[in-house]
């Protein structure tokens, strides 16, 4: 039986360092996120499927469960 995925992730803005805890969606990828600190629009880094995989403290639920993500 697979472990339940972590649904809370702390996003850290690479531009200003602002941190915020968010609940990750389980049925869709989040490609964009507006930083509440500096207003910068965050996008996934090349090779990552979503902003949580790029800037979060935990990768998105499908990646945690070693499933195909967002494709």
* pLDDT at residue number 70: 60
Q: Around Cβ 62, how many Cβ atoms within 10 Å?
A: 20
Instruction: Give the pLDDT band of residue 4 (cuts 50, 70, 90).
Output: confident
> Residue 19 in 3-state DSSP?
strand
pLDDT in tens, 28-49: 789 999 999 999 999 999 999 9
Residues 43, 57, 48: CA angle, nearest 5 degrees:
35
Stated pTM of the model = 0.87
Does the pLDDT of residue 50 top 90, yes or no?
A: yes
């Amino acid at each position: 039986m697979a472990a339940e995925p972590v649904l809370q992730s702390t996003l850290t803005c690479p531009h200003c360092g602002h941190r915020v805890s968010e609940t990750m969606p389980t049925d869709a990828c989040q490609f964009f996120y507006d930083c509440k600190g500096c207003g910068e629009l965050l996008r996934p880094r090349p090779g990552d499927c979503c902003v949580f995989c790029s800037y979060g403290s935990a990768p998105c639920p499908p990646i945690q469960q070693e499933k195909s993500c967002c494709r």
